[in-house]
Amino acid sequence: MTLPVDPAENLAALIRCPSVTPAEGGALGVLENMLKPMGFSIERPVFSEAGTPDIENLYARRSGNGPHLMFAGHTDVVPPGDEALWKHPPFSAAIEDGIMYGRGAVDMKGGIACFVAAVARHLEKHGSLAGSISFLITGDEEGPAINGTVKLLEWAKQRGESWDASIVGEPTNPTTLGEMIKIGRRGSLSGTITVHGIQGHVAYPQRADNPVRGMMCLLESLLDPAFDHGTENFQASNLEVTTIDVGNRATNVIPARATAGFNIRFNDTWTAESLKAEICARLERAAQANRLRPGRDTAIQYDLVWNERPSHVFLTRDDRLIGTLTRSIEAVTGRRPELSTSGGTSDARFIKDYCPVVEFGLAGQTMHMVDERVPLAELEDLTQIYERFIADFLA
């Protein structure tokens, strides 16, 4: 029996599946075919929710006596964009000069391919595992993340599953393999503000109420002063205005309303609840202060809607997990990785509620880009890191 020990072959098979969110695209079937010969039991539950696409997921486990290590990730990918701009077709897994091209090469089919190869090599050498390994793979990470990891975790828990630690195989290294382990993430909170005015002719402003003026006041209150200046383990919280719109194409009409969207990435100074309270207080102070402006005697009329479920800030403090992975990285690359909480969110935000979790995968320079690609040598190095980690962590 031939086991999937070659990460490049594993990755090529996965890339050739056009699994653009929410399509499974054959990728979970390919992964199942890799894992079954290694003795993994496979289940592929589909989760649904009104207003969202159904998502197929995969949970695979090989059981042994000892710790239970979860590898988590996703086979869904973002759209390739204009395929004519690609050097090679985005789902061809073409190799040129020792580099494999394809959508998902680093984000994050590459990480999955390497972890599968690492498990296969471990089994070839040792014949068994000194513990349990599971794969928790979703097809919804690049989408709304509603019918994927969050539901798959609860589904597995209800069946008696528990884990001692997890690695998420996202492309965490900025430029070079071995630079960085993500041991936490800032939280994320999004909202939409709508300011209500009175539509009118621009030549008769006394008959109208321009909502743009009110919106500028409200947004300024969110941008200054800073929410904080960072903490020991996290960057400063940062709010960005992501869209402003009045829906008005006429240059001689004062609009009736203005809307603005914002997102804030926040550190452990805040919880989602305390941050919401702070934002509401700032907006209300700014709205009431509008009464003091010349010619005004009313507050700014506005609504605030929170757009989505917030992602909560978290920090993993697990010496065994972090230390074992750090030593594995050093042994293969000679680099001591930085322990970081930078960047955006990932499905680790769900896993943290079930077990200690860190993120470590390929270098992410080309993720989501045209000509997403990975050097074959980097696939081999990551496989060796994972293989060392599996042996040491389960020992």
Residue at 344: amino acid letter: G
224 assigned ligand-binding residue: no
In 63-162, which ranges are E strands? 68-74, 95-96, 99-101, 132-138
Give φ, ψ of 258 to 5 degrees: -135, 140
Residue with tokens 């020792």: 98
* Residue 219, helix vs strand vs coil: helix
308 assigned ligand-binding residue: no
Token pair for residue 327? 């030593």
Q: What's the CA gap between 21 and 54, in Å, rounded?
A: 11
Respond yes or no: is residue 319 known to be catalytic. no
Respond yes or no: is residue 141 known to be catalytic. yes
| Surface-to-core class of residue 72, CB atoms within 10 Å of its CB (0-12 exposed, 13-18 middle, 19+ buried) | buried
| Surface-to-core class of residue 233, CB atoms within 10 Å of its CB (0-12 exposed, 13-18 middle, 19+ buried) | middle
Residue 375's beta-bridge partner residues?
99
109 touches 76 (CB < 8 A)? no
61 touches 72 (CB < 8 A)? no
Q: What's the CA gap between 62 and 171, in Å, rounded?
A: 25
Residue 258's beta-bridge partner residues?
195
Residue 99's beta-bridge partner residues?
96, 375
Token pair for residue 308? 């989505």
- Among 6, 24, 140, 141, the active-site one is 141
88 assigned ligand-binding residue: no
In 247-341, which ranges are E strands? 253-254, 257-266, 301-306, 314-315, 338-340
74 assigned ligand-binding residue: yes
In the chain, what are the helix, strand and coil shares in percent, each to the nearest 5? 30, 25, 45
347 assigned ligand-binding residue: no
For the annotated binding site, the residues are 74, 107, 142, 170, 368
For the annotated binding site for Zn(2+), the residues are 74, 107, 142, 170, 368
Residues designated as active site: 76, 141
